[in-house]
Amino acid sequence: MTKPVFYLAGGLLIALSGVFAVHSIMMPDQLWGQIQLMWLCYGLNYVLATLIFLGVLVTHRKNALLVGFVFMGGSVLKLAVFFLLIHPNFKDDGTVGRDELSLFFVPYLISLFAMTYAGSRALQRK
């Protein structure tokens, strides 16, 4: 069970690091003041994706019928973290633009695709 988690954690770390580098190069100048928030978004998505994936694997071992609920609950948890911790920082200037939203949703989508791919491979083998 730990092998798929390590594969996901390593692959996701490599993917998010590469995307972070590209994202920071393409980031508009006016968002450079929010680079710490970008680090937070990428870090939270990495940690939450790894923990949710671990939860999916543990749930699959105990009761395979609940895997979908754990996966969807994890996505709801990620969005709740976004709206509670990160979104208020975006509203400080009065507007929330696409560039600001990309700080969270780019790593969110990368981690979602990686989790889905790793989950389908891990659960097919069992």
Confidence of residue 28 (pLDDT cuts 50, 70, 90): confident
- Residue 65: in which H helix or E strand, if any? none
pLDDT beyond 90 at 46: yes
Mean pLDDT of the region 19-40:
84
Q: Which domain holds residue 32?
A: 2-125
Close Cβ partners of 112 (under 8 Å, ≥ 6 residues apart)? 49, 75
Mean pLDDT of the region 73-97:
82
pTM of the model: 0.88
- The three-class DSSP label of residue 33 is helix
Mean of the per-residue pLDDT values of the chain: 88
Closest Cα to residue 72, out of 124, 112, 40? 112
Q: How many CA atoms lie within 13 A of 92 on its CB side?
A: 9
Q: How many CA atoms lie within 13 A of 113 on its CB side?
A: 8
Domains held by the chain: number: 1
**pLDDT number for residue 125:** 78
Task: Look up residue 94 and give its DSSP letter.
Answer: S
114 in Cβ contact with 15 (< 8 Å): yes
